[in-house]
């Protein structure tokens, strides 16, 4: 699948970017030194091989003229902040940043270079693995997520600390941002927008249990994990990170929605296998939020394949029903 948010650049621009980052003398003269990596639906990414054999990845933010969802604004700055934070305060393997440019002198968006991580994308190889291997990686992913969540933040919301003291207020604002995005483009949710608002508001009291802002990766699924020789060697794509409730992490989605797979290995690795009634309600609210994003973003990405929209709509229906709502 392709997306209009992928900011592809011509060869001469890619060459200029690499020369600025690593020096013109390291950039090969041929055409086969750079190739697009067909991963993700938001940012374009390229793999580069320099003259001395060094391999790097270039990530470019969406074009300045392309509308993105509210929570995606400034996503590259968030990713750079998250990478620095993770490297400084955890042992979770993430790449360093070789070079970052926010001047827009060479292209119309922010971009940065990082080392290429040699390994396999877990999502791409998962079906070839044995049950034991999948469980091993799931357990490691749970442990890595728990370590990321150990980072305390100054306030709920953005990593720059400019957020709120209340998680309820923060999360309700996050939901409202997504609903506003959908309303602007008249996205069909299968539910009245005000009905969704009312259901979330009716259950919002459970959010008050969360009083300590924690680093949340939020998008830590198999497609953002690199593995090699039985272990996780890299975690990628941190542009959606924020300070919030750790239970909003992707690995917990399957607790409520079986379509996300079996959460057992993740939960064992994370160290949390039981949930209170209020925690389950928070999880259901977080699934509503995720299903809204996954449904609405298909319109913003201008995806032509109907499958992602249909799948997300089904998850929204499931979670709304879990919260006691029916059409």
Q: What is the pLDDT of residues 171-213, one digit of tens each?
A: 999 999 999 999 999 999 999 999 999 999 999 999 999 999 9
Beta strands per DSSP E along the chain:
34-37, 44-49, 55-60, 99-101, 111-115, 120-121, 214-216, 225-228, 231-235, 242-244
Task: Assign 234 to helix, strand or coil.
Answer: strand
How far apart (Å, rounded) are the C-alpha atoms in residues 205 and 219? Answer: 25
Please report the pLDDT score of residue 2 as a whole number.
Answer: 65
Q: How far is CA 41 from CA 5, 44, 220, 237, in A?
A: 7, 8, 15, 11
What is the model's pTM? 0.93
Beta-strand pair 242-244/214-216: antiparallel
Q: What is the pLDDT of residues 106-119, one digit of tens each?
A: 998 999 999 999 99
State both tokens at 69.
């969802």
In CATH terms, the superfamily for domain 11-115 is Phosphorylase Kinase; domain 1 (3.30.200.20)
Q: Cite the residue boundaries of each domain of the chain with CATH code 3.90.1200.10.
A: 120-322
How far apart (Å, rounded) are the C-alpha atoms in residues 217 and 119? Answer: 21
CATH number of the 120-322 domain: 3.90.1200.10
Please report the pLDDT score of residue 1 as a whole number.
Answer: 53
65-74, 191-200, 213-222, 224-233: the lowest-pLDDT one: 65-74
How far apart (Å, rounded) are the C-alpha atoms in residues 64 and 66? Answer: 6
Q: Cite the residue boundaries of each domain of the chain with CATH code 3.30.200.20.
A: 11-115
Q: What is the pLDDT of residues 39-73, one digit of tens each?
A: 666 778 999 999 999 999 999 998 888 888 999 98
Q: How confident is the model at residue 301 (pLDDT cuts 50, 70, 90)?
A: confident
Please report the pLDDT score of residue 303 as a whole number.
Answer: 85
Whether pLDDT at 9 is above 80: yes
- DSSP string covering 133-179, please? HHHHHHHHHHHHHHHHHT-B-SSBB-TTS-SBS-HHHHHHHHHHHHH
């Amino acid at each position: 699948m392709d997306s209009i948010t992928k900011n592809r650049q011509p060869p001469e621009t890619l060459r200029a970017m690499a020369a600025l980052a690593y020096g013109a003398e390291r950039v090969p003269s041929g055409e086969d030194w750079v190739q697009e990596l067909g991963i993700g639906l938001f940012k374009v990414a390229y793999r580069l091989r320099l003259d001395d054999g060094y391999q790097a990845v270039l990530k470019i933010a969406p074009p300045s003229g392309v509308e993105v969802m509210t929570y995606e604004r400034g996503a590259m700055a968030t990713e750079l902040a998250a990478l620095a934070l993770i490297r400084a305060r955890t042992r979770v393997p993430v790449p360093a940043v070789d070079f970052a440019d926010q001047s827009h002198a060479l292209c119309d968006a922010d971009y940065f270079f990082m080392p290429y991580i040699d390994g396999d994308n877990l999502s791409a190889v998962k079906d070839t693995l044995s049950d034991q291997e999948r469980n091993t990686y799931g357990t490691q992913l749970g442990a890595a997520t728990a370590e990321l969540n150990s980072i305390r933040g100054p306030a709920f919301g953005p990593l720059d600390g400019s957020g709120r003291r209340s998680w309820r207020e923060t999360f309700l604002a996050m939901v409202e941002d997504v609903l506003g995005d959908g309303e602007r483009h008249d996205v069909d949710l299968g539910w009245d927008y005000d009905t969704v608002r009312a259901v979330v508001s009716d259950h919002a009291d459970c959010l008050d249990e969360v009083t300590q802002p924690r680093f949340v990766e939020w998008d830590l699924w198999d497609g953002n994990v690199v593995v090699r020789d039985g272990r996780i060697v890299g975690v990628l794509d941190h542009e959606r990170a924020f300070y919030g409730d750790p239970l909003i992490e992707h690995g917990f989605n399957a607790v409520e929605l079986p379509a996300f797979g079996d959460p057992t290995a993740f939960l064992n690795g994370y160290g949390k296998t039981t949930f209170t009634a209020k925690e389950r309600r928070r999880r259901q609210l977080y699934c509503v939020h995720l299903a809204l994003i996954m449904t609405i973003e298909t319109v913003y990405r201008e995806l032509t394949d109907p499958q992602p929209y249909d799948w997300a709509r089904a998850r929204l229906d499931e979670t709304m029903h879990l919260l006691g709502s029916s059409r």
